[in-house]
Amino acid sequence: MTRRSSVWHPFFQHATEPAPPCAISSEGAYIHTGRGPLLDAISSWWVVTHGHNQPEIVQAIRDTAGQLDQVIFANVTHAPAEDLAEALVAMTPKGLDHVFYSDSGSTAVEVALKMALGYWRHEGDGRHRIAVIEDSYHGDTIGTMSVGERGVFNAAYDPLMFAVDRLPFPQGDGAATLAAFDALAASGQMAALILEPLVLGAGGMRMYGSSVLAGLRGICDRHDVLMIADEVMTGWGRTGRLWACDHAGVAPDILCTSKGLTGGVIPLAATLASARIFDAHRSGDRRRTFYHSSSYTANPIACAAALAQVRLWQSSPMQARLDELGAMQARHLAALAGDPRFENPRQCGTIAAIDLKVPKGGYLSEVGPRMRAHVMAEGVLLRPLGNTVYVLPPYCVTPDDLDQAWGAVASFQV
Ligand SMILES: Cc1ncc(COP(=O)(O)O)c(C=O)c1O
């Protein structure tokens, strides 16, 4: 007998989708469900980096949970948050010296936007406009939807959203994007540019080159516009380097991280900012205080998990693993590249994507749910973005796991 559920699932159409399998345990690249194992080929919405239930991270959670639970973070501090902040400052691009904690990718971005606007206000400058790249995604809160692409995801909430300036998605050398941004930035109204560096995830795994990212940084410098790098998806190795910004040798003024921060075991986010931004809020004038918090800010258990995750980067040959995984993904993409059912193969580090050739693409393309059901029946968890199929696996996947994931994609009848 199927149990009646009161749960309202995210990004899930209850009218048409079959009841989801119930996850019972998870380990490595697998989710074990009541209906059998599922290969998690999308790292459970891009959060799992090393693998599910990574032992060192789980142990850190156990150790901390017996000692320190949630404590207010306004007038109290604790070692897991302090140690993690120190480690994050050391391993992020130069100049990001201050760490503000929150709970999710969306809150990390909201914090970044507030920091940027707060900075200009406290500097006595009226800049308030935000530039974004077409097809971006930064979360599902009102502020993050405002700086993301408008469409089927958020049309109903349009009256609540604020206006932003949109740059065309960078094609080729990105000349049109750079020119558009240069013109906007020259207006003196631009507070910040927010971008997903190198890969626009939810926007369809759209990829652009590191020279464009470097070019955008140059324009920010020239016109004194803050650059916010949303590394929520791209961070922690997904693009083949620790940070996507590392490919371009670029340091943003503000960097957002979440998802892989705890290896995908427990929620946590951090927004890192330069001294310039922190100092604008540090004042004898209490009106300049950074007025943002959430109840669970810097949860010690989550910070300890993140610290254990960071230690894995410091103690294991992560770069070699990323390179190996990237090479395996490249071989699978190459095998599909000549297949007439597919087009536009693309890869950035461990992320590989390809489009199904269909008359009608876009997020609501009917081919997405059909592909998802097909691969699920083959024991593989994928969630195509419309007609874009992508494999974004935890770093512990084996060659056999990847054969299974791509084999399931290849056996789909369009
Ligand atoms: C680039 C980017 N920013 C922000 C978010 C929002 O993160 P969360 O779902 O944890 O709020 C996501 C989620 O997919 C993302 O890909």
Pocket test for ligand 1, best of 236, 256, 259 (most atoms within 8 A of CB): 259
Dihedral-angle region of residue 263 (phi above 0 means left; psi in -120 to 50 means alpha; beta otherwise)? left
Domain boundary among 250, 281, 315: 315
Closest C-alpha to ligand 1, atom 10: 105
Q: What is the 3-state secondary structure (H, E, C) of 345-413?
A: EEEECCEEEEEECCCCCCCCCCHHHHHHHHHHHCCEECCCECCEEEECCCCCCCHHHHHHHHHHHHCCC
Contacts of 1 (CB under 8 A, 6+ apart): none
Q: Which atom of ligand 1 is nearest to the CA of 104?
A: 10
256 near 268, Cβ under 8 Å?
no
Domain ranges, residue 184: 57-315
377 and 292 share one domain:
no
Closest C-alpha to ligand 1, atom 13: 139
Domain holding 102: CATH number? 3.40.640.10
Q: Report the SS3 class of residue 41.
A: coil
Total residues belonging to the chain: 414
Question: Is residue 306 included in any domain, yes or no?
Answer: yes
Domain holding 351: CATH number? 3.90.1150.10
Q: What is the 3-state secondary structure (H, E, C) of 194-205?
A: EECCCEECCCCC
168 and 277 share one domain:
yes
Q: Is the CB of 234 under 6 A from ligand 1?
A: no
Q: How far apart, in whole angstroms, are the C-alpha atoms of residue 129 and residue 141?
A: 18
pLDDT tens track, the chain, 414 positions: 456 799 999 999 999 999 999 999 999 999 999 999 999 999 999 999 999 999 999 999 999 999 999 999 999 999 999 999 999 999 999 999 999 999 999 999 999 999 999 999 999 999 999 999 999 999 999 999 999 999 999 999 999 999 999 999 999 999 999 999 999 999 999 999 999 999 999 999 999 999 999 999 999 999 999 999 999 999 999 999 999 999 999 999 999 999 999 999 999 999 999 999 999 999 999 999 999 999 999 999 999 999 999 999 999 999 999 999 999 999 999 999 899 999 999 999 999 999 999 987 778 888 999 999 999 999 999 999 999 999 999 999 999 999 999 999 999 988
Domain count, the chain: 2
Q: Is the CB of 147 under 6 A from ligand 1?
A: no
